[in-house]
Amino acid sequence: MNKRVVVYKTLSQPLLERLQQQVDVTQVDLNASDGLARLRDALPDAHGLLGASLPLGSALLDLAPNLQVVSSISVGVDNYDVADLTRRRVMLTHTPDVLTETTADTGFALILASARRVVELANWVRDGHWHKSLGPAHFGTDVQGKTLGIIGMGRIGDALARRAAAGFGMRVLYHSNQRKPDAEARHGARFRSLEALLGEADFVCLTVPLSASTEGLIGARELALMKPEAILVNIARGRVVDEAALIEALRSGRLRGAGLDVFEQEPLPADSPLLQLANVVATPHIGSATHETREAMARCAVENLLEGLAGERPRHWVNPF
């Protein structure tokens, strides 16, 4: 008997066919009004789950006594209770590496857009305000030659450091729970305590995974340590930053600006005060969202799933047991 898999994210036709050759697939559209109900109906028979962006708590897992593999189409696994999955002997897999460069591009896009006020000034032109040449009121600030502070020097942090050092002649500082001799040697990155990094960097970019130790890492105290002309960029997870404290710092001019791809609540509510602030560039969690990278992530997730269901050790197994 074939294993049964519930897919709750749209897959390309070739990937869907590849999966269907080996397992019985039930597709569920979580955007449909009956999506969650259909997922609940399919869980009792499921051996595998494939998808993303769904917090998979114990209430759903209790419905799936046959579950063997949860294959997430993401690198972040903060939507899952990893300890609970391990207790249940359910493999959790994720999709690192394939999204590293694209996500680092997003970080750099936010650094440049915030520093050079790209979104604000493009909207200003579109709204018909460009009648004479620009004066200082519309100037931005340089990126090249400045200091980038990276909090979390994993794969994405490293890819950002490479762009900053090689492409923009930036000085790179980093804070991480481990020293990274490779990044130090290749990009001239210098390790700093969190406090020292916040005090020295012109751009602070967050790339840490969300965990109990990083939730609320950047709050009012940390924002107060940043230079007033500094810009905060978050491509990690919204809850790494105390959003209310950030809004206050941006409103009061305590910080120059912020480039944010992730938020405490996603989708970002249309009435969020962040959207009232001209010095905020807000993007809808586009970190890895290119055609090529999302396809590569889905392919990696399909491979992880099939390996796990075949009784092999998946390449990107988060909770090995």
CA distance 7 to 28: 6
Pairing of strands 257-260, 280-282: parallel
Residue 288 near ligand DGY by CB under 6 A:
yes
Pair 50, 306: CB distance under 8 Å = no
C-beta separation of 69 from 307 below 8 A? no
Q: Which of residues 200-239 bind ligand DGY (CB under 6 A)?
A: none
Among residues 149 and 287, whose Cβ is nearest to ligand DGY?
Answer: 287
**Cβ 118 to ligand DGY, closest distance in Å?**
22
In whole angstroms, how close is the CB of 121 to ligand DGY at the nearest point? 27
CA dist 189 to 135, 154, 160, 169, Å?
A: 35, 13, 11, 12
List of E strands, the chain: 4-7, 24-27, 48-51, 69-72, 91-93, 147-151, 171-175, 190-191, 203-206, 231-234, 257-260, 280-282
Q: Are 240 and 260 in contact (CB under 8 A)?
A: no
| Cβ 35 vs Cβ 287: under 8 Å | no
Residue 37 Cβ, how far from ligand DGY at the closest point, in Å? 26
Q: Does residue 93 touch ligand DGY according to CB under 6 A?
A: no
277-297 burial: b if 16+ Cβ within 10 Å, else e: bebbbbbebbbbbbeebbebb
Residue with smaller CB distance to ligand DGY, 146 or 294: 294
Among 76, 107, 238, 257, binds ligand DGY (CB under 6 A): 76
Q: Which is nearer to ligand DGY, 155 or 190 (CB)?
A: 155
- For the annotated catalytic residues, the residue numbers are 237, 266, 285
Q: What is the DSSP letter of 125?
A: H
In the bound state with ligand DGY, the residue whose beta carbon lies nearer, of 107 and 287, is 287
Nearer of residues 10 and 66 to ligand DGY, judged by Cβ: 10
| Residues in binding contact with ligand DGY, number by CB under 6 A | 6
- Alpha-carbon span 16 to 79, nearest angstrom: 23
Q: How far is the CB of 320 from ligand DGY (least distance, A)?
A: 20
**Touching ligand DGY, residues 35-74 (CB under 6 A):** 74
Residue nearer to ligand DGY on the CB measure, 203 or 263: 263
Q: How far is the CB of 9 from ligand DGY (least distance, A)?
A: 11
75 touches ligand DGY by CB under 6 A: yes
The closest residue (CB) to ligand DGY is 76
Q: How far is the CB of 233 from ligand DGY (least distance, A)?
A: 14
DSSP codes of every residue in 43-110:
GGG-SEEEESS--B-HHHHTT-TT--EEEESSS--TTB-HHHHHHTT-EEE---STTHHHHHHHHHHH
Which residues form the interface with ligand DGY (CB under 6 A)? 74-76, 99, 287-288
